[in-house]
Amino acid sequence: MSPDPIDLPSALKRIGGEKEFLRELLEIFETDYREKADRLKKAVETGDFESLKNIGHALKGASANLSLEPLKEACRSMEEAGEAGDTKQAGEALARMEAEHARLRAFLPGIFP
């Protein structure tokens, strides 16, 4: 069984326990993620490995800061695909990122009803 898409105790600890602030940070992350995911899709299609590496790295850091561990690991895989110049790995990483992002979005209403 996969871990929760967010380590809620860890995320809250990072920001002093302010749940409403966490909601705001997750909304900002969502906007940023969607924009970067669109750029990643184009980069996978065109084989733009530098963008794959850079965007994967940026999303990995943002995910880590919010304790989104499964998504962070998927982003790490994207970063590594960009470093390796591996189109197949990049496509797999993108699919994994999208699945973890969808899992996160489905999970959040249980935290923030």
- Please write the tens of the pLDDT for every residue from 6-65: 999 999 999 999 999 999 999 999 999 999 999 999 999 999 999 999 999 999 999 999
The pLDDT value recorded for residue 65 is: 96
Residue 79 contacts residue 57 (beta carbons within 8 Å): yes
Among 19, 16, 38, which Cα is nearest to 6's?
19
Residue boundaries of the structural domains of the chain: 8-107
Domain 8-107 has CATH 1.20.120.160: yes
Residue for token pair 């940023």: 32
Query: Mean pLDDT over residues 56-80, rounded?
Result: 98
Residue 88: pLDDT band with limits 50, 70, 90:
very high
- CA dist 5 and 26 (Å) reads 12
Helix (H) or strand (E) holding 16: none
Q: Report whether 2 contacts 70 (CB < 8 A).
A: yes
When pLDDT is averaged across residues 98-106 and rounded to a whole number, the result is 97
